[in-house]
């Protein structure tokens, strides 16, 4: 069989080769001619799987190393008998790490503790649950909005988008991008939504750029309806709005889900889908794992105060990525493709934990102190 894979998907090379002819292509090289004789594709969100690409090919399975699948024409695939599989939850912990690190960086800059703030989470699926867990651990009050879940589970425990707008100190979006169906999310955060904000909240989008309306978001920031703006996802990527970039507190090139752990999870899930679909056994799939951090031990005695906050930022500090993007925004896609994927909290051991820090360190997912 033949597999065509995006050449930027990590930890993949050498794993499927014992049972398949694997060809690695740059995104721009995904053409109808290139994929015509492929049995399966392994893609990223930048690889658009459209009718134009797929028609006339022998592709039977598309696996995407992403949670989202709006880059796949699912309606055409269903009509053409092409199965597609995404990787739900693969990078949930990574996005949770991003949100916590961004909030931590802002709270230290503003000298405002996060404890006691009201966090409104829009979309409480794989990612939203992780964000809720971390926020609760550090003492935030959480408001949850998720209309599909509320329909299935009942309204208890969920609030309306209007309640989020009125009561939240911080609002974070974690929904898929959908344009149709019962609950479309395209431009969910629009002029009407921003007009209902009551507390000049911090606003975070780390799901999909078109979930917010750029024009409305710009106006809301200029009008002071939003006090701090954290953006990882942008409309029209990689051609991001320069004025919006200038107004952000933290700006990153769509890398929130790019932890090494999340990448390994996604690659593994793609390979497992290929195993199931084609009834194969990939003996080397266990080798799909990220390398250890260069410095896996964090000594908390380096800091006198905000010790766990500093440990979080040691694992991932979004301000470093932010600086590079501001200096050269035209290299948005380059920064994505050449990103140094951080490890998640579980890859780090904290030394010299104080008694009052141990429970929070455990809840955040850090490895146990061995000394």
pLDDT tens for the 371 residues of the chain, in order: 999 999 999 999 999 999 999 999 999 999 999 999 999 999 998 999 999 999 999 999 999 999 889 899 999 999 999 999 999 999 999 999 999 999 999 999 999 999 999 999 999 999 999 999 999 999 999 999 999 999 999 989 999 999 999 999 999 999 999 998 999 999 999 999 999 999 999 999 999 999 999 999 999 999 999 999 999 999 999 999 999 999 999 999 999 999 999 999 999 999 999 999 999 999 999 999 999 999 999 999 999 999 999 999 999 999 999 999 999 999 999 999 889 999 999 999 999 999 999 999 999 999 876 54
Choose, from 112, 167, 237, 357, the residue flagged as catalytic: 237
Q: In this structure, are residues 118 and 326 in contact, taking their beta carbons and an 8 Å threshold?
A: no
Q: In this predicted structure, what is the pLDDT of residue 259?
A: 95
Degrees (nearest 5) of the Cα angle 58, 63, 65? 150
Choose, from 129, 208, 268, 307, the residue flagged as catalytic: 208
Q: How many whole angstroms separate alpha carbon 18 and alpha carbon 14?
A: 8
Q: Determine whether 162 is an active site residue.
A: no
Q: How many whole angstroms separate alpha carbon 371 and alpha carbon 11?
A: 33
Q: In this predicted structure, what is the pLDDT of residue 360?
A: 96
Q: In this predicted structure, what is the pLDDT of residue 370?
A: 52
Instruction: List, edge to edge, every strand of the sheet that includes 83-85.
Output: 21-25, 2-6, 40-43, 61-64, 83-85
Q: Determine whether 237 is an active site residue.
A: yes
Domains of the chain: 2-86+259-287 (3.40.50.720), 92-251 (3.40.50.720), 297-364 (3.30.1370)
Choose, from 254, 268, 307, 343, the residue flagged as catalytic: 254
**Alpha carbon distances (Å) from 117 to 58, 65, 83, 99:** 53, 34, 44, 15
Q: In this predicted structure, what is the pLDDT of residue 70?
A: 87
Q: What is the DSSP letter of 154?
A: -
For the beta carbon of residue 218, count every other beta carbon within 10 angstroms. 16
- Global pTM reads 0.87
Q: Determine whether 279 is an active site residue.
A: no
Q: In this structure, are residues 141 and 121 in contact, taking their beta carbons and an 8 Å threshold?
A: no
């Amino acid at each position: 069989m033949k597999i065509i894979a995006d050449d930027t998907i990590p930890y993949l090379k050498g794993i499927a080769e014992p049972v398949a002819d694997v060809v690695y292509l740059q995104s721009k090289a995904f053409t109808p001619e290139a994929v015509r004789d492929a049995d399966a594709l392994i893609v990223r969100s930048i690889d658009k799987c459209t009718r134009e690409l797929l028609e006339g090919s022998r592709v039977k399975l598309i696996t995407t190393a992403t949670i989202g699948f709006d880059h796949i024409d699912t309606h055409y695939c269903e009509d053409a008998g092409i199965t597609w599989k995404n990787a739900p939850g693969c990078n949930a912990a990574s996005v949770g790490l991003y949100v916590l690190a961004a909030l931590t960086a802002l709270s230290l800059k503003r000298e405002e503790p996060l404890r006691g703030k009201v966090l409104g989470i829009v979309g409480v699926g794989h990612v939203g649950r992780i964000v809720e867990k971390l926020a609760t651990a550090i003492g935030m009050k959480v408001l949850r909005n998720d209309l599909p879940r509320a329909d299935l589970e009942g309204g208890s425990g969920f609030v309306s988008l209007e309640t989020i707008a009125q009561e939240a100190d911080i609002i974070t979006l974690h929904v898929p991008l959908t344009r149709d169906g019962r609950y479309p999310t395209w431009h969910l955060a629009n002029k009407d939504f921003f007009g209902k904000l009551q507390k000049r909240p911090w606003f975070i989008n780390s799901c999909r750029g078109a979930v917010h309306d750029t024009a409305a978001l710009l106006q809301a920031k200029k009008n002071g309806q939003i006090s701090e703006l954290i953006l990882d996802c942008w409309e029209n990527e990689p051609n991001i709005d320069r004025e919006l970039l200038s107004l952000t507190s933290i700006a990153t090139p769509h890398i929130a889900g790019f932890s090494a752990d999340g990448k390994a999870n996604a690659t593994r899930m793609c390979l497992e889908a290929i195993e199931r679909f084609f009834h194969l056994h990939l003996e080397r799939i266990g080798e799909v794992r990220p390398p250890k951090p260069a410095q896996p031990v964090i000594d908390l005695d380096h800091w006198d105060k905000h010790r766990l906050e500093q440990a979080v930022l040691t694992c991932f500090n979004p301000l470093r990525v932010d600086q590079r993007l501001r200096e050269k925004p035209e290299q948005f896609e380059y920064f994505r493709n050449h990103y140094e994927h951080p490890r998640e909290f579980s890859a780090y051991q904290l030394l010299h934990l104080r008694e009052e820090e141990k429970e929070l360190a455990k809840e955040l997912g850090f490895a146990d102190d061995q000394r």
